[in-house]
Amino acid sequence: MNDFPRQQLSDLIKVHGTILAKEPERCESLLHEKCGNNYKLEIFVLINAIKGGVTQGLLKPPRHSSQEAWAANLTEHLYNNHLAFLGLEKEVAQWAVESWGLVLSQEATPPKPLSAMNPIDYMRLLWWILVSPQQLQIYRQAFGEEDENRVGKWLVSSLIWGPLMMPILAAGLGLLWFVPQDWPSSVYLLFTLLLIGCWLLTGLVGNVGEGSVMGNVAFGVMFGMIFGVVYVVAIVIAFLVAIDVATDQAFGIGYVLAYVVAFYMAYVVAVGVAMAVRDTVTNSLISATPSTLVRIAFLLLVVADLFLFWFCFLGGEQFLVEKAMGG
């Protein structure tokens, strides 16, 4: 028996988790993808070990039996009930039991539990959802979906309200140039408090669907990404519109008007597109199959949020205004 399929099975378990030890059809399909048309016997006995209850027995061994004795018992069971009538040697069954025993014993340690009190866990969940959905399946096997749903509500709330909050808070702190003179900073700070209230309300009581956070997280991810990207484009357009005006006063008026219109257009476009692609993203998350679309969305989300933070709080707008006025 060749150990190459055993190595491939080990890699698959590390990616997809022990759920594969309970899904013979899916495990067989993945092994054939990894091994091609070779090693048919090895794959056959590994899959029959699942169907014969060997993997279940290895995952939940009896307390009263030693590891060696239990492996021998499983080998006898697999050989007598699934392989002997095919004329195969008993060593084949022994190889299958040993292979599954090694693979399951080397499985990666499950991740730590998610906590709604730890904002870093929002990023962990976001990473799993968009880049490594297999890790989410491994987490669910270990901890279920309760903590995932709880953290997912706060993640969705942050993705929706965070991009809206950044420019309004920056305006209240006097960091943005476009703030109208007849609007005191306290107005923007009040709007910021209202948005914080919306963020808290969504995080505390937001509906995450029936037993799964995937649908709303998919919407929140796409909204946050699309709003951020469109918002960045809107800022660029606002500058291009304003630069065409000669005087400083006209530049200011043109920039403010273009900026405000573009802001609301970004919001409308983000809602519309997020609703349109929500099902596509959700299906990718449920199937735990990494999607190019959602990975691109993750990259754009990070870039757009970093740009917004720079633009609002690190002098990005002032830098762009000076460049525009100087040009």
This prediction's pTM:
0.63
What 47-54 contacts at long range (C-beta under 8 Å, 24+ apart), as own/partner pairs, is 48/78, 48/82, 48/83, 48/96, 49/78, 49/96, 49/97, 49/99, 49/100, 50/21, 50/22, 50/23, 50/24, 51/24, 51/82, 52/77, 52/78, 52/81, 52/82, 53/77, 54/78, 54/96, 54/97, 54/100
Lowest pLDDT segment from 28-32, 36-40, 214-218:
214-218
Which of 17-21, 26-30, 132-136, 207-211 has maximum average pLDDT? 26-30
pLDDT at 298 over 90: no
Q: For residues 124 and 178, which has the higher predicted lDDT (pLDDT)? A: 124
Q: How far is CA 288 from the centre of its chain?
A: 10
Determine the residue type at 257: L
Cα separation, 237 vs 320, in Å, equals 12
pLDDT score at 184: 75
pLDDT score at 208: 46
- Rounded mean pLDDT of 34-52? 90
Q: For residues 193 and 155, which has the higher predicted lDDT (pLDDT)? A: 193
pLDDT score at 209: 47
pLDDT at 321 over 80: no
Cα separation, 26 vs 46, in Å, equals 12
- Rounded mean pLDDT of 298-315? 83
Residues 146-158 pLDDT 10s: 788 888 888 888 8
Question: Count of H helices and E strands in the chain?
Answer: 14, 0
- 62 dihedral zone (left: phi>0; alpha: psi -120 to 50; beta): beta
Q: For residues 128 and 99, which has the higher predicted lDDT (pLDDT)? A: 99
pLDDT score at 262: 63
pLDDT score at 210: 43
Run of H or E residues at 206: none
- Rounded mean pLDDT of 32-37? 87
Q: For residues 243 and 104, which has the higher predicted lDDT (pLDDT)? A: 104
pLDDT score at 138: 72
C-alpha angle with apex 208: 286 to 166, nearest 5 degrees?
Answer: 105
**Whole-number mean pLDDT of the chain?**
77
Residues 81-126 pLDDT 10s: 888 888 888 999 999 999 998 888 765 555 688 888 888 988 888 8
